[in-house]
Amino acid sequence: MTTRPPEPPDFGPTGPPLDSDLTQPVPGHWLNETATNVAPVTFEEEDIYAEPVNIRGVVVALGIGALVAVVMGVYGSTHEPTGEALNLAGFSDGLHAKVWLGSVAFALALVQVLSAMAIWGRLPGFTAGRGTAVVHRWSGRLAVIVSLPVAAHCLYALGFQSFDTRVLLHSLLGCFFYGLFVCKMVVLTKSRTPGWALPVIGAAVFTALVGLWVTSSLWFFSEFGVSL
């Protein structure tokens, strides 16, 4: 007696036979309702099309700032000092006007640093508002405006000098300050610059201004007293 071979198993756990229409969706009774659903991998559109960090813009800004600093140094070295270039009402001479305007610029720079700390949430006990940003912008603008007559006096009346350490350091810091200031302004016009660029350059500008004030106004007041 011949034994009939067993029937082949169905195609799938409990699915249709092999000759079923494979163009149709998977039958519902094939699905395992207890299986873990894996969320599809998605990509944010801005992640796909995001531009790279603009390091080149920072390099360009540094190059322009360095050029400005070098030009100022070369001009101050080759220009024949006039001895007098600044004469403002209320001051006995140009030197007194220079040290007082430098002190005003230094005070405004302090305001800008404090307002920047408030904007970034680094000033304890103070919450920045819209007015803080206005104070930050205008304190910086006024500091530079006030410093321009001082720079003109240094370039035309005194020039780039190096007869002692203090004077040499003051001359170098003057060129350094305006070169960094121009660099900062260029960075502000660039998009997608690194997050560290503006704080670092801004801190360097402030440091240069502090050095200028110490080697000029503070030295003058300590040597000759506070007078107009």
User: Which pLDDT band holds residue 69 (cuts at 50, 70, 90)?
Assistant: very high
Question: Is the confidence at residue 141, as pLDDT, over 90?
Answer: no
DSSP string spanning 37-53?
Answer: PPPPP---HHHHHPPPP
As to burial, measured by CB atoms within 10 angstroms (0-12 exposed, 13-18 middle, 19+ buried), residue 52 is exposed
Give CA–CA dist 30/46, Å, rounded.
39
52-56, 76-80, 211-215: range with lowest mean pLDDT: 52-56
